[in-house]
Amino acid sequence: MVLEAERGQQSGLRKDRDQKVSALVDGARSGDRTCMDELIGFFHKEIFRMVYYRTGSRMDAEDLTQEIFFKMSEAIGKLDDPARYRQWLYRIAVNRVKDFHRKKSLLSFFADTGGVKEMEPIGADPNPVNQMMEKEFWQHFHGLTRKMSRMEREVFTLRYLDQLGIREIAGALKKSESTVKTHLYRALEKFKGSSELRALLKGDES
């Protein structure tokens, strides 16, 4: 009974969130600057986190996040269904990150990048203990995902790091829901009992 009550509460919160987002999208499409600013503020943190994980650089993540929302504000008038806003926004973000990596790969042909850069602390926490724990988390997380195929890694990350639903992931990647479920199943099966997964779970318990 308690579990059912919690699920009902979560469902109600999601419904309230979806209704609020739809109202903001309607306002933004009509040229309401206040609605646009609220919409950006509503999703800024999660889009930044999504981009940061894929770049490893706070500076690049800040720049790309700004570009993503600029592109969103230019194109929002073309969005037909406000209920699909979140997956539409993530599609913009995924494509922008892909463009970023393509350009970065091209530049690597002309200049030495000096090796792989470690991920910067996302919260810029001055506490060295917290920084070390965060660094260890990302090392374990990368260890968990680097053996996945590109699509398995993308689906896995969108589901468990960015917390998108199956339908939203399908919309963001322009894939069918069955394809998304297949890649997610393969990713999960591949790493059951892995040392990286155990390390992540142990970190959650501490």
Q: Is residue 47 part of a domain?
A: yes
Task: Decide: residue 1, CB within 10 A, 0-12 exposed, 13-18 middle, 19+ buried.
Answer: exposed
Which CATH number does the domain housing residue 30 bear?
Answer: 1.10.1740.10
**R_g (Cα) of the chain, nearest Å:** 19
Is there a contact between 51 and 58 (Cβ–Cβ < 8 Å)? no
Q: Is residue 96 part of a domain?
A: yes
Mean pLDDT of 164-193: 88
**Residues 93, 71: Cα–Cα separation, whole Å:** 10
Q: Quick one: pLDDT at residue 166?
A: 92
State yes or no: pLDDT of 161 exceeds 90: no
Q: Quick one: pLDDT at residue 170?
A: 93
Q: Which of the four pLDDT bands, split at 50, 70 and 90, describes residue 11? A: low
Collapsing DSSP to helix, strand or coil, 49 comes out as helix
**Residues 183, 158: Cα–Cα separation, whole Å:** 12
Q: Is residue 143 part of a domain?
A: no
Residues 6+ apart with CB under 8 A from 9: none
Q: Is residue 152 part of a domain?
A: no
Q: Is residue 33 part of a domain?
A: yes
**Residues 161, 159: Cα–Cα separation, whole Å:** 6
Q: Which of the four pLDDT bands, split at 50, 70 and 90, describes residue 18? A: confident
105-154 pLDDT, tens digit per residue, is 655 544 444 444 454 555 544 444 445 445 666 666 777 777 788 899 89
Q: Which domain holds residue 62?
A: 1-109
Is there a contact between 20 and 12 (Cβ–Cβ < 8 Å)? no
37-83 pLDDT, tens digit per residue, is 999 999 999 999 999 988 888 999 999 999 999 999 999 999 989 99
- As for how many domains the chain has, the answer is 1
Q: Is residue 62 part of a domain?
A: yes
Q: Is residue 202 part of a domain?
A: no
Residue with tokens 């929002």: 76
Which has more pLDDT, 89 or 104? 89
Mean pLDDT of 163-174: 91
Q: Which of the four pLDDT bands, split at 50, 70 and 90, describes residue 181? A: very high
Is there a contact between 162 and 90 (Cβ–Cβ < 8 Å)? yes
Q: Quick one: pLDDT at residue 120?
A: 53
Task: Decide: residue 68, CB within 10 A, 0-12 exposed, 13-18 middle, 19+ buried.
Answer: buried
State yes or no: pLDDT of 13 exceeds 90: no
Residue 146 DSSP one-character state:
T
Interior/surface letters 23-52, b for 16+ CB within 10 angstroms, e for the rest: ebbebbbeeeeebbebbbeebeebbbbbbb
Q: Is residue 54 part of a domain?
A: yes
Ranked by mean pLDDT, the top range of 52-61, 83-92, 160-169 is 83-92
Average pLDDT of the chain, as a whole number: 79
Mean pLDDT of 23-48: 95
